Structure 1
Amino acid sequence: MNKFQPTVEKVHLKNGLILLLLSFPDSLLCSIHLSLAMGNLFENEKERGLSALLQEVMVKGTQTKDAITFNREVESLGASIESSSNSFIGRIAIEGPNEHIFAILTLFFELIKSPALKKEEIEKEKGYLIDQLAALDDDPLNAALYRFKKAFYGTHPYGSPTLGETDCLKTFTEKKVNDWYRRWYVPNNMVIAVVGNYNLSRMKDVFYHQMGELIPQKVKPYQEDSFYPLSLRIVEQKDIQDSWMVYGYRAPSLFDVQGRVAFDLLSNSLGGSMYSR
């Protein structure tokens, strides 16, 4: 390997946490990303949106800092933080100046190990997600995509919006959100990537000290259920000037690397943009 091309060092902690380290000499920025298995695939019919709600609330402070104080400390370091979830992954990312990488990591560890998850923030974010779901129909393309997914995936989790279902969101309590956090934020369900300019030995020592003592828990695997389309065609008329059509078919599995690459090339060639072939 060329000495000018740093390689990723993969570290397995005894508790199951996977650490990916990439040090770039002279890098002025640092980035820390946490990924967890969570989302639609891991939710039952009564849990739709629980992952999305948790991820929204995760960055609203810690046990010792309210949301305003925590975010001010992040901003004082010139950093930014965001969280998200989709059908199968939850993510927290924090980025900022490399000169503050270890101070940024201190806030990162505090957040993922002791988030506030307060009732008032949970209720606020529930309302936000419910409003977002209601707004899906305001955009014709999103409305068409939503109905396509419902028809194509049927009762499979992929058929539900990653934001959740309104009826489910209304039922989620503070206890339910905290239980969901304890279920998924465990070391053997975490992959953390750190990119920046740092000493590898020191970075490993920091993670061994901060994350090495976390206790692993049994993580529920997702169900590889088959699915059957509910309908081959859905037509809905709305009082708008635009018309949108969505059609689709089953693609290769994410685990079928060769098939997925071929499908991506075909998809971009046939329909990647207005300038596709």
Structure 2
Amino acid sequence: MPRQSDSSRLASSGSADHVRRSTLPGGLRVVTEFVPSVRSASVGVWVGVGSRDEGQSVAGAAHFLEHLLFKSTPTRSAVQIAQAVDAVGGELNAFTSREHTCYYAHVLDSDLALAVDLVADVVLRGRCAAEDVEVERDVVLEEIAMRDDDPEDTLGDVFLSAMFGQHPVGRPVIGSVESISTMTRTQLHSFHLRRYTPERMVVAVAGNVDHDEVVALVREHFGPRLSKGREPVAPRKGTGRVPGRPGVELVDRDGEQTHVFLGVRTPGRHWNHRWALSVLNSALGGGLSSRLFQQIRESRGLAYSVYSSVDTFSDSGALSVYAACLPERFGEVTQVASDVLAEVARDGITEAECRIAKGSLRGGLVLGLEDSGSRMHRIGRSELNFGTHRSIDDTLELIDAVSLEEVNAVAKQLLNRPYGAAVLGPHRSKRSLPRALRSIAG
């Protein structure tokens, strides 16, 4: 099994322990994390391109392309790709977000070379064949239909549209039936050639791996794409303030429940107070002891599912509350939620709530990094989003350093902003929505 010597590890000041980074010609970055306690390796090729980089005429192209590249390469068919990873008991998959796309494999450490080969083959040499476009078009349309059948997934997209309007992050990653139905092979192939360039890419590998071996494998499989004269693309900073105000979107649909997202805009991921925002989110609706969960579910039994969450992008974000309840309880649920938000905006959270929220974040961070896959995702995102790597201990110190005063200042700043909302349920018009919701949002 590969081993990494102590002398090759980076110090924790400004970087993460066991994390090493190299930049190859053409701006391609290779980041590895040595995890000696595992027998696995996780390989990810991260491309700094997502749905916010699309024009409206090709909405959903990044996600469509992610599907398409797995269909065939010059040396492998889709069946051969699947057989290669199944033969070693591994996993090969991908996902697309608003700001990046990731193709990844999870294998035994002894199969590292195969994983790098497979992922590089798909990302760099996926053929975008015309016949594959038509097959995968139907698959993506089925995925849209599946999304539409899930109220929570549907409403998540509708909510971001209500929050950000025509801003690119307000568009669904998956695109629309109209855009997917009319997208051409030429458009997808062009998107691939223009966007998937080495300076926008990060190869992140975590597990029982050696950095120098990984770099050698990457050079072997990315070699033809590695040309001199290009620097890595800097972490995305965004385009500035989002224009307009959040609104209210309604999806009138018969069903047993009403689903609602309610929230405010936040600064993006580079905000100095992002850890205080995480603590606030945890105290509001991040766990069983959170204020929204206790008030809406435990004390009153008004809903089964209720939580808060934070979506962060380079230049913007959203702090949101979600609940699903019987339509006749919708008014009371929104009243309680708006009362909780108003109370926290006015008085803040308590010392006990702050302590519990920080403990929840610390535990969630450490427990969520117990496998090589989660470690690979952490270093890949960190390289794309920030261009730096912080040790887990340093991150825990940042959480510990958040004060009650900082959290409450963030609550006062954000929860007094204009609210946006999205509702899905048997409600014929916005005028029929509860007064508590109409008074706080739109």
TM-score by length of 1: 0.88
Check conservation: 2:44, 2:103, Cα contact below 8 A.
yes
From 259, 271, 278, the equivalent of 1:264 is 278
- CA 1:160/1:60 → structure 2, altered by over 3 Å: closer, same or farther? same
What secondary structure, in the 3-state scheme, does the structure 1 residue paired with 2:102 have?
strand
Matches within 5 A, 1:72-221: 72-215=83-226
Q: Highest CA radius of gyration, 1 or 2? A: 2
Q: In 2, are the aligned partners of 1:62 and 1:116 still within 8 Å (CA)?
A: yes
Consecutive unaligned residues in structure 1, runs of 5 or more: none
Gaps of 5+ in 2: 10-15, 292-442
Deviations 1:140-173 (A, max 9, x none): 3333333322222111112211101221111212
Q: 1:99 to 1:6 in 2, by over 3 A?
A: farther
The CA RMSD measured in Å over matched residues stands at: 2.7
> Contact conserved, 2:71 with 2:78, CA < 8 A, in 1?
yes
2:29 counterpart letter in structure 1 = I
Q: Are residue 63 (structure 1) and residue 74 (structure 2) matched? A: yes
State whether structure 2 residue 251 is matched by structure 1 residue 251: no
For residues 30-72 of structure 1, the C-alpha deviation after alignment (integer angstroms, 9 at most, x for no partner) is 1101111111221111121000000011222311211001210
Q: One-letter code of the match for 2:196?
A: Y
- Deviation at 1:244? 1.7
Instruction: Report the equivalent of 1:54.
Output: 65
- Are 1:241 and 2:256 matched, yes or no? yes
Asked if structure 2 preserves the Cα contact closer than 8 Å seen for 1:152 and 1:228, the reply is no
Amino acid at match of 2:172: P
Alignment-mate amino acid for residue 53 of structure 2: F
Residues 12 and 117 of structure 1: is their aligned pair in 2 closer, same or farther, counting only changes over 3 Å? same
Q: Which has the higher contact order (CA 8 A, sep 6+)?
A: 1
Letter in 1 for 2:174: L
* TM-score using structure 2 length: 0.57
Matched residues in 2 for 1:236 and 1:205: separation? 52
Partners of 2:200 and 2:282 in 1: CA distance: 33
Alignment coverage as a number of residue pairs: 275
Any idea what SS the aligned residue of 2:262 has? coil
More helix by share: 2
Q: Confirm or deny: 8 A CA contact 2:34 2:207 kept in the other structure.
A: yes
In 2, Cα distance between equivalents of 1:48 and 1:201: 39
CA contact (8 A) 1:152 1:229 kept: no
Cα distance in 1, alignment partners of residues 211 and 250 from structure 2: 57
